[in-house]
Structure 1
Amino acid sequence: MKKILLTLSVFALTTSVFAQTNEPTTSTETETSSSDYNKWSIELNGGVNKYQRPATSGYYTTTPSPWNADFGVRYMFNNKFGLKLDAGYYNFTGHDSSLEFDTHYYRANLQAVANLGRIMSFETWTNTIGLLGHTGFGYGQLKSDNAAFTDKMFNFMAGVTGQIRLSNRVALTGDFTTILNAQQDYAFDGASQVGGRGFGGILFQGTVGLTVYLGGKEKHADWVTLDSELKKEIDALENRLATIETGLTDSDQDGVPDMFDAEPNSMAGVAVDTKGRTIDRNNNGVADELENYFETKYGDKGTSSTAGMDVKSLINDGYVNVYFDFNKTQPTTESASGINFLVKYLKANPSASADVVGYADEIGNADYNKNLSQQRANNVKQILVDAGISGSRLNVVANGEDTSVNKDSKQARQIVRRVTFKIK
């Protein structure tokens, strides 16, 4: 018993110290708890009791003996520790074969509360069952209907409370508590004086009751897991980081991250402005860098027909391609620039039309690869149509396998899984 009392006393003192120092040392949890859950509750309980000592020979009660009741107000600092102020009343009457007596015990206590359910991670297997531990000191009085005395004393109490959550506002509770009285001068039956010093009185109680949770938040601290709330915050931060990482991807490799790129599918290798848009000052649908190259190499500056013919030759000679991963029918992200190049050319030359020519590598059945090349060409055509090019200007051609490279070379096969264009 002495070891139990020492353990409970240390627990009470430790909890009190924690209550005083909790706010500055756990700012993150305090901020979270203040905004995420309720802290106040009221408790009403009733049940039976049994005193062990002191007692007068010939006086005794039933086991257990009715009745007792208590009312308390509890405040939780966080989801694990709190304080409770409560008051209780106990009635002791003699059993049928006992000498007659009728006494009353009153008490008031300030107790530290530990949410054992959260401390022991009940949430890993239930969201309905909880467990509280409570211990503290208080003041008590014993009075008798048969004698005019008031026995004043101090007490120490400790107990456990099982919880069943009925809703976010109400919980059903069952409690077992031991009360130790110090400086108790009379026996519980009031029939004799014992002149006790120290913790000489022992009283047990068992109750059932209801806890009502107060506040405007969804849940009370009894049922909140800060680890889950922290995980939500971490997941949100990770999602934000993933969004930023995705946004910093440079799909068209023009030096401008996608999140800032107004044209994330610009043609590889051509100059762009600070927003990732292809530089096309004369708005003819052809990048100025390519236009300058052809004008320098093949014709005079300002001769648009020459530049137009050279761009057509560039497309027809296979310099503009759309590539595919192995056995895939949708183009790779990097190939968007090739499609975009043709879109701009066809919009700048409304009388032109184009063959959309699909290819596959030599891995697999020839008939299967023929169909694969057809699907690839169809999908590229659909992208062109979605980009504003009339389907009547586009003719799909399935050329099947391209045998121009070594089929045993994985790297070489990448360049024949493609769609090319022929301007007409």
Structure 2
Amino acid sequence: MKKTITQILSITLLLSCVFTLSAQNSKDKYDHWAIDLGAGIHTVGASLSPGYNPSLFGQGSLGIRYMLNNRFGLRLDLGYSSFQDEAALPFKSNYYRASLEGVVNMGDVLKFHTWTNRFNLMMHGGVGAASLNITEPTDNGGDPMMALNFGITPQFRINNRMSLFLDFSSLIHFYQDDNFDGGPNLSPRESNISLFNTSLGLSFALGKNKQLADSYFMEEVVVNDELEEIKNRLAAAEKEIEVLKNKELAATPNQELIMTELDERYVRKDEADKYANVVTGSNVDFIRQLLNSGYINVYFDVNKTRIQDGSLNSVNYLKQFLIDNPTVNAELIGYADETGSEERNKTLSQNRAKRVFDVLVAAGISPARLSYYGGGEDKSVTEDARQFARKVTFKLK
């Protein structure tokens, strides 16, 4: 028994050292620490004498988890099980375990966020120590053993701080001398799947952010390398505009040339004629009318918040217009197609608007001049034209 206690304390100390070295980054928008509390049923898979059938109920677990990021983490898993059977020779036994496990957020690996924001899947596995203490019909004084623990954990997000989970775990024991009923284990040196645990429980985030790392979607943050890529694409678009400005056409001033190019790209001749009465010498009103009327939009792929390459010029055009007109503010409205749920479309459309907002701010536009919100599903287009619904539109003020 002393050996078991020593092993458990060693695991706890090791986990504490790892957690101390992995101090939480204050910039993260999720909590690294979490508690997993579960209870349920167990089934003995091996090391049981013939004729015994222990009760299913009587197991619980406590997990103290630290997520290094929203995909990988470590956990100290503590468990207890109680076995008894009122057979011809009744028995009672208690089982204690502690293990250090690695945790993988498979929902993030498999991109569950592209089709759900409620369900998730975790996997865990590790090694630890266990002790089987027989109390009836005799007291064995404790049977220490080594244990491997593997499991999968489907989750349902209740809110950002709490998730309901259903855990399926298998425990493999080494060096088990006694059966769970107190009889001798005839093959103690052989490993076997001794226990199957099924637990229902809750996971709680611990921290000021009130956000579980497992349900946090990293695409909500503009990642540095992706932002750098967007900056490079914006720079390329600016070069194209510069080439356009420098075209030598004797009869057409540069400002008129840009407007002529805009007309050719975004406006049919009959539409341009319709708005001819608002064109002023500076063309500001005309450009405002084009932007507000939806001639220039930013488009996205299905379930994505990454701006399509062909839409970067639209973002750059708005950026340049705001630079040239410092008194003008812009509102960004995101939309989604009809394929998702109402809640999903609202979140996705807002994330798209936020992405354009981040790019404009990174390009030098003051955030005080910008606002954004998600408009949800764009009901102005039909199912056959849903690619035009996945967009962000502009409203100049």
Q: CA deviation at 1:148?
A: 2.2
Match of 2:365 in 1: none
**Where do residues 18-167 of structure 1 align in structure 2 (5 Å cutoff)?**
34-62=27-55, 65-94=56-85, 96-97=86-87, 99-146=89-136, 147-149=138-140, 150-167=142-159
| Equivalent pairs, count | 242
Match of 1:211 in 2: 203
Task: Say which of 329, 332, 352 aligns to 2:277.
Answer: 329
Counterpart of 2:153, as a letter, is T
Match of 1:411 in 2: none
SS of the residue corresponding to residue 137 of structure 1 reads strand
Q: In structure 1, how many angstroms separate the alpha carbons of the residues matched to 2:25 and 2:92?
A: 51
Deviation digits for residues 269-289 of structure 1 (CA, Å, limit 9, x no counterpart): xxxxxxxxxxxxxxxxxxxxx
Q: CA deviation at 1:43?
A: 1.1
- Superposition RMSD in Å: 4.0
Match of 2:169 in 1: 177
Taking structure 1 as the reference length, the TM-score comes to: 0.49
**Where do residues 215-364 of structure 1 align in structure 2 (5 Å cutoff)?**
215-217=207-209, 219-230=211-222, 245=238, 326-327=273-274, 328-331=276-279
SS of the residue corresponding to residue 36 of structure 1 reads coil
Q: Call closer, same or farther: CA 1:201–1:163 in 2, change over 3 Å.
A: closer
SS of the residue corresponding to residue 230 of structure 1 reads coil
Match of 1:375 in 2: none
Deviation digits for residues 58-116 of structure 1 (CA, Å, limit 9, x no counterpart): 22224xx111011110011111111100110001111x545311011100000000001
Deviation digits for residues 32-73 of structure 1 (CA, Å, limit 9, x no counterpart): 9952221110111111101111111222224xx111011110
Larger CA Rg, structure 1 vs 2? 1
Unaligned 5+ residue runs, structure 1? 1-15, 24-29, 254-263, 266-324, 337-424
Deviation digits for residues 347-370 of structure 1 (CA, Å, limit 9, x no counterpart): xxxxxxxxxxxxxxxxxxxxxxxx
Taking structure 2 as the reference length, the TM-score comes to: 0.53
Q: Does 1:202 align with 2:194?
A: yes
**Where do residues 395-410 of structure 1 align in structure 2 (5 Å cutoff)?**
none
Identical-residue share of aligned pairs (%):
29
Deviation digits for residues 9-33 of structure 1 (CA, Å, limit 9, x no counterpart): xxxxxxx9xx99xx9xxxxxx9999
Structure with the greater relative contact order (CA < 8 A, sep ≥ 6): 1 or 2? 2
Q: Call closer, same or farther: CA 1:252–1:198 in 2, change over 3 Å.
A: closer
Tell whether the 8 Å contact from 2:134 to 2:180 is kept in structure 1 after alignment.
no
Counterpart of 1:167, as a letter, is N
Q: Call closer, same or farther: CA 1:335–1:56 in 2, change over 3 Å.
A: closer
Counterpart of 2:74, as a letter, is L
Q: Call closer, same or farther: CA 1:118–1:192 in 2, change over 3 Å.
A: same
SS of the residue corresponding to residue 28 of structure 2 reads helix
Tell whether the 8 Å contact from 2:170 to 2:193 is kept in structure 1 after alignment.
no
